[in-house]
Amino acid sequence: MTDAAKRSRTNPTTVYFSGAPCECAPGETVLDALLRQKPDLAYSCKKGTCLSCILKADGPVPAEAQEGLSPTLAKQGFFLPCLCPPLDGMLIEPAEGKGLFADATIESADQLAAHITRIRLRPNEAFEYEAGQFINMRRDDGLTRSYSLASVPGQDDLLELHIKRLENGIMSNWAADGASVGDAVEIQGPNGSCFYLEGNAGGPLMMIGNGAGLAPLQAIARDALDRGHRGDIHLYHGSRHADGLYMRDELAELASQHANFYYHPCLSGSAVPKGCRRGRAEDVAFGDHQDLKDWHLYLCGYPPMVEAARKTAFLKGASLANILSDAFELRELRIEPRD
């Protein structure tokens, strides 16, 4: 439980969403309270990372509910209800307004691999971002999901997303089957701090990801190479099946162009074709490199893998500040309230 939630434990409070009163139970966040009345509200990580639950308040907002928001957003009253202890009488509105969502148009939708759809978006206005950051994409019915950007500013004209099809994923199935060229969507972002940092051009970089976690990693690698990174860059991409190792040709080509870029496709299933490493990506990576002092790591993919790899990398000597991960989680894996 957060300190904020603890503080609110003793005082029963009422907040107002679009004018309708909502009782908050002791210790509850504003998001959990609102979800009881409006289960359709957008949310995902419930820990202040993905920003998909963002709302707007008219009046005071607890400071912890605006941590990590840009000053522009905070000043307009935007806040994260998942981090927000309820203030009695708080007036809350859906998040609409300048600086939050921007219009974009789908320029292409195609299959990169059996379960991975590539969506390319043209933002209607200039959209500045760092390779490796993520956006929230909102469909016209309000459905919102977080996706990493696979494109690199300066190298790619369009914003590119790699969307893994999840069995019951509403957005991912729509991306694969329903989305058409010319469809309008809205995007919010860029978010996240998982991107290439200047000032370490000679140091080694390790990137570990599985599935569509490749999207931001290959972008960060291309960005680093483009900016003249001189240290070794090792990209470990894992999948259970060979058809999940998408972009193999492009990455092999990149490795042939840059002597300091190493691409390691890894397969954890039983059939391992020539050119692939056997084992899970993180196991192969940590087997290759024992001492990670001075390494910078980028981890993306299935959240339990990311957390475990973070710990392993830390124990192998990497500084926590140098282990960057794409920390948003799949809503489908996070339907229970957080403690």
Partner 1 sequence: MSDSLFERIGGAPAVEAAVDVFYRRILADPLISHFFDDTDMDAQRSKQKAFLTMAFGGPNEYTGKDLSDAHRDLVRRGMNDSHFDAVAGHLQATLEELGVPEAETGEVMTIAGGTRDAVLCR
Contacts with partner 1 by CB under 8 A lie at: 47, 307, 310-311, 314-315, 317, 319-320
Q: Which is nearer to partner 1, 105 or 319 (CB)?
A: 319
Spell out where 114-174 has E strands.
116-123, 134-138, 144-148, 159-164
Least distance to partner 1, CB of residue 314, Å = 6
Least distance in Å: CB of 191 to partner 1? 16
Query: What's the min distance (Å) between Cβ of 336 and partner 1?
Result: 14
- Between 315 and 333, CB nearer to partner 1: 315
Closest distance of CB 31 from partner 1, Å: 18
Is residue 127 classed as helix, strand or coil in its secondary structure?
coil
Q: CA-based angle 222:115:302, to the nearest 5?
A: 65
Q: What distance in Å separates the CA atoms of residue 22 and residue 302, rounded to the nearest whole number? A: 35
From CA 100, how far away is CA 102, in angstroms rounded? 7
Minimum gap (Å) between residue 144 Cβ and partner 1? 24
What span, in angstroms and rounded, lies between the C-alpha atoms of 267 and 237?
9
How near is the Cβ of 85 to partner 1 at its closest, in Å?
A: 17
Nearer to partner 1, 274 or 293 (CB): 293
> By C-beta, is 112 or 323 nearer to partner 1?
323
Nearer to partner 1 among residue 45 and residue 152 (C-beta): 45
- Minimum distance from residue 318 beta carbon to partner 1 (Å): 9
Smaller CB distance to partner 1: residue 276 or 309? 309
Strand partners, 174: none
Tokens describing residue 22: 């909502």
Nearer to partner 1, 6 or 278 (CB): 6
What is the DSSP pairing of strand 144-148 with strand 159-164?
unpaired
Would you say 112 or 324 has its CB closer to partner 1?
324
Shortest Å, Cβ 315 to partner 1: 6
Angle at 230 between CA 235 and CA 155, to 5 degrees: 70
Q: Inter-axis angle of helices 214-226 and 248-257, to 10 degrees?
A: 20
CB-based contact 73:41 (threshold 8 Å): no
Q: Do 234 and 323 contact (CB within 8 A), yes or no?
A: no
DSSP 8-state symbol, 75: H
User: 129 and 149 in contact (C-beta within 8 Å)?
Assistant: yes
Distance CA 125, CA 108 (A): 18
